[in-house]
């Protein structure tokens, strides 16, 4: 595969190499019905449009295209779940039935996955019926791609994988082959929506809504064949920027009429358009506050424009004061989303989804879940994750995020329901359904994600959005089985444990040598890569750790601090309020404690900081040895270029981890004056 750069690039096939499809392509197959996704399924299998089902060992169909059970070789048809699929295996055939064309295609990819995993595990699926339905209605990836290269943020904001797959030289790419390959990868995980431009909407990106609609339609055409809708990020100030109006006041009838007309034009070009994604009154982006209006006023005005077309407004809750005075110990960025949005519960229209970052700060390695997720039972909510590794190693460090995401999705934030249940609108209470969204980590890099192993995060997002009960280990097995489907059986059996050694504990290891105990933001300002312990300590961004000679941490208790702990429902309100019951891994997020405070491990805070930084770096030895154990498979099971990139990234990870270790350990020695009891070198 190549794309329209000046230099042709061979693109790694990620988790859909030809070897993964080969076992199914070798079977006589039939795909019933027509439509973009069924045509895609037919192309994947090489099936003839008029192929008979009589001799087919594999049949794929939307259930509405099946005249009778006998027509697909079955005695009865299963009840296919809404949005999902059924896989029926008999002694002589496999039948994939989807609720519709996109669901049938996803069912086909599920069979590809099951065949690959069976080869990895040595256990083939037996006869019977497997039903699968998406847990989350919305399963979306947001691209922070700029059409024009931004002078500070570049082509892809917080992108660590090259340029955009959508845009080049200030325009939508003429060749969208790479976009098609990407849509295929996403369909195989269950992702069903993609936002194609940056939430920080600059002047060129804003025009996608107007004179760029022809190109937007071309992108939508590509995604449609894989059952994926597209969304546009729009500027709230568009009526002024693009329409020549004097105002963007959401209660101004002329503004509402402009947006209604804009929506009409979009749907005329893209009939299955998903809707608008909006970042408003956040980090300098315009919003309804300029007119004395609420976020509900702004979101509902856009919702009214989209409603005739069945469209949705995704309104981000990432709103806080980014011009904070660091001397002010009472203003707390962590409180901001709750303070702005919780009072508005029940006032948003039913085609508005409030998109809430998983934590109250900004995708830190360790922070609590956002209490907003439990505070708005009458509002459609979407959990927002970050696949791109802005604060988790920038795709230069191995950091497999699925264990953290599974923890978030399974966390019983209201004491009863999991976060996955809350945003899905399940588990009682009559809550409306939202979903899960994440910031993509893809660019035009030959490995899609910069670090080849970071592909596993993109894969895992789609799978966990589909089913949050999957274990992180099982998802990793799926990715390994598919990605290395071309490896010989004995070689695959070696790749599997080596990659688990590299990846299973990688997120905890990264946390181990970076910011400790939930304190966060000890990163280089601007780039957010590498250590700078005091980099944000006197900044306007509200990202402080308040280390002094006696202790460290932010007092967010209700009794003596900012009151953030009080925003949580029971039992977490009481748990986080007390130093005695607050989990150690979040201690410094909620409390300012002396360096001598004793953790559950029996170590003091400062000794934990010393030891955990050093231990985490030492743990990289096992990671490097595990990858080295596959050296003799390079050129066969492991592609040469894949190996070279992983080795380069592991070398960079070690150098960065050592810098993190030495800076953090030395900082706290110099700040506290407390010696490291282990006797290891501190600078």
Q: Supply the pLDDT for residue 374.
A: 97
Residue spans of beta strands (DSSP E) within 526-598: 551-552, 593-594
DSSP states of 433-464? P-EEEEE----SSTTSSSSGGGHHHHHHHHHH
- Closest by Cα among 231, 431, 216, 394 to 316: 231
143-176: burial string, b at 16+ Cβ within 10 Å, e else: bbbbbebbeebebbbbbbbbbbbbbbeeebbeeb
What CATH number does the domain located at 510-554+592-672 have? 3.90.1330.10
Could you check whether 138-483 and 510-554+592-672 share the same CATH topology? no
SS3 content of the chain, % helix, strand, coil (to 5): 40, 15, 45
598/262 Cα distance (integer angstroms): 59
Q: Compute the C-alpha angle 325/555/391, nearest 5°.
A: 70
pLDDT tens digits, one per residue of 303-328: 999 999 999 999 999 999 999 999 99
The predicted-structure confidence for 26-72, as pLDDT tens digits, reads as follows: 999 999 999 999 999 999 999 888 788 999 999 999 999 999 999 99
130: three-class secondary structure by DSSP = strand
Contact 101, 33 (CB under 8 A): yes
Residue 636 has pLDDT above 80, yes or no: yes
Q: Does the pLDDT at position 5 exceed 50?
A: no
**Torsion angles phi and psi, residue 147, rounded to 5:** -65, -50
Residue pLDDT, tens place only, 645-666 = 999 999 999 999 999 999 999 9
The whole-number pLDDT of residue 52 equals 86
pLDDT of residue 430: 63
Residue 102 pLDDT exceeds 70: yes
Instruction: Report the candidate in 559, 589, 562, 552 with the shortest Cα–Cα distance to residue 667.
Output: 552
Percentage of the chain lying above the pLDDT 90 cut: 96
CA atoms within 13 A on the CB side of 346: 4
Residue 431, pLDDT > 80, answer no
Q: With 0.85 as the threshold, say if the pTM is over it.
A: yes
Average per-residue pLDDT for the chain: 96
Neighbours of 621 (CB within 10 A): 10
- pLDDT at residue 8, rounded to an integer: 61
Q: Is 168 helix (H, G, I), strand (E, B) or coil?
A: strand
Contact 223, 268 (CB under 8 A): no
Which class would CATH give 138-483?
alpha beta
CB 588 within 8 A of CB 518: yes
Domain parsing of the chain, residue ranges:
18-132, 138-483, 510-554+592-672
- Pairing assessment for the beta strands 275-278 and 312-316 based on DSSP bridges: parallel
Q: Which residues of 99-117 are buried (b: 16+ CB within 10 A; e: fewer)?
A: bbbbbbbbbbbbbbbbbbb
pLDDT over 90 (residue 375): yes
Report residue 211: phi and psi, to 5°: -75, -5
Residue 2 has pLDDT above 50, yes or no: no
> What is the per-residue pLDDT for 1?
41
Question: From CA 372, how far away is CA 214, in angstroms rounded?
Answer: 38
Classify domain 18-132 by CATH number: 3.30.379.10
**Calculated CA dihedral for residues 179, 182, 184, 187, nearest 10 degrees:** -120
Considering only CA atoms, which of 641, 534, 479 is closest in space to residue 14? 479
Q: Which residues are catalytic?
A: 283, 362, 390
pLDDT of residue 9: 74
For the stretch 526-584, pLDDT in tens is 999 999 999 999 999 999 999 999 999 999 999 999 999 999 999 999 999 999 999 99
pLDDT average, residue stretch 186-212 = 97
Q: Which residues partner with 231 through β-bridges?
A: 195, 275
């Amino acid at each position: 595969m190549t794309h329209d750069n000046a230099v042709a690039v061979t693109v790694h096939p990620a988790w859909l190499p030809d070897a993964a499809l080969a076992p199914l392509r070798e079977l006589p197959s039939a795909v019933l019905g027509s439509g973009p996704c069924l045509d895609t399924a037919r192309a994947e299998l090489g099936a003839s449009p008029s192929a008979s089902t009589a001799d087919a060992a594999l049949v794929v169909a939307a259930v509405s295209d099946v005249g009778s059970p006998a027509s697909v070789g079955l005695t009865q048809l299963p009840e296919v779940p809404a949005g999902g699929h059924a896989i029926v295996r008999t002694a002589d055939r496999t039948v994939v039935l989807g609720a519709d064309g996109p669901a049938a295609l996803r069912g086909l990819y599920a069979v590809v996955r099951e065949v690959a995993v069976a080869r990895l595990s040595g256990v083939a699926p037996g006869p019977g019926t497997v039903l699968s339905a998406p847990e989350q209605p919305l399963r979306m990836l947001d691209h922070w791609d700029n059409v024009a290269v931004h002078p500070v943020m570049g082509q892809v904001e917080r992108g660590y994988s090259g340029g955009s797959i959508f845009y080049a030289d200030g325009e939508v790419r003429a060749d969208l082959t790479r976009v098609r390959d990407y849509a295929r990868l996403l369909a195989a995980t269950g992702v069903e929506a993609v936002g194609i431009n940056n939430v920080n909407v600059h002047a060129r990106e804003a025009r996608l809504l107007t004179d760029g609609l022809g190109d937007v339609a071309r992108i939508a055409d590509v995604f449609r064949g894989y059952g994926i809708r597209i969304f546009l990020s729009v500027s709230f100030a568009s009526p002024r920027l693009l329409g020549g109006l004097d105002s963007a006041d959401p209660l101004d009838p002329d503004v509402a009429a402009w947006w209604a007309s804009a929506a009409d034009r979009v749907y005329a070009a893209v009939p299955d358009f998903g809707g608008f994604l909006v970042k408003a009154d956040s980090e300098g982006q315009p919003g309804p506050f300029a007119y004395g209006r609420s976020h509900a006023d702004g979101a509902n005005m856009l919702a009214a424009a989209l409603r005739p077309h069945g469209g949705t407004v995704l309104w981000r809750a990432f709103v806080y004061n980014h011009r904070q005075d660091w001397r002010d110990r009472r203003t707390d960025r962590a409180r901001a989303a709750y303070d702005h949005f919780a009072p508005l519960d029940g006032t948003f229209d039913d085609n508005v989804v409030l998109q809430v970052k998983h934590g109250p700060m900004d995708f830190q390695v360790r922070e609590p879940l956002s209490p907003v997720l439990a505070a708005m039972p009458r509002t459609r909510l979407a959990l927002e994750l970050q696949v791109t590794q802005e604060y988790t190693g920038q795709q230069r460090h191995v950091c497999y995020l699925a264990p953290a995401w599974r923890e978030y999705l399974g966390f019983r934030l209201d004491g009863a329901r999991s976060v996955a249940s809350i945003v899905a609108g399940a588990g009682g209470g009559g809550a409306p359904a939202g979903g899960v969204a994440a910031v993509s980590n893809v660019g035009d890099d030959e490995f899609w994600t910069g670090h080849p192993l970071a592909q596993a995060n993109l894969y895992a997002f789609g799978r966990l959005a589909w089913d949050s009960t999957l274990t992180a280990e099982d998802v990793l097995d799926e990715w390994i089985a598919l990605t290395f489907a071309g490896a010989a059986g004995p070689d695959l059996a070696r790749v599997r444990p080596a990659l688990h050694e590299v990846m299973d504990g990688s997120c905890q290891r990264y946390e181990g040598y970076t910011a400790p105990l939930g304190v966060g933001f000890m990163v280089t300002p601007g780039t957010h890569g590498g250590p700078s312990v005091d980099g944000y300590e006197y900044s306007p961004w509200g990202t402080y750790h308040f280390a002094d000679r006696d202790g460290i941490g932010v007092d967010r208790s209700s009794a003596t601090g900012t009151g953030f702990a009080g925003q949580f429902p029971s039992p977490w309100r009481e748990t986080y309020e007390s130093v005695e019951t607050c989990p150690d891994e979040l201690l410094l997020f909620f409390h300012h404690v002396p360096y001598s405070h004793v953790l559950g491990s029996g170590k003091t805070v400062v000794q934990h900081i010393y030891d955990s930084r050093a231990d985490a770096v030492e743990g990289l030895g096992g990671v490097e040895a595990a990858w080295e154990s596959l050296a003799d498979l390079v050129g066969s099971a492991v592609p040469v270029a894949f190996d070279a990139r992983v080795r380069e990234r592991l070398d960079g990870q070690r150098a960065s981890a050592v810098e993190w270790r030495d800076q953090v350990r030395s900082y706290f020695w110099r700040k506290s004056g407390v010696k490291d009891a282990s006797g290891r070198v501190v600078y």
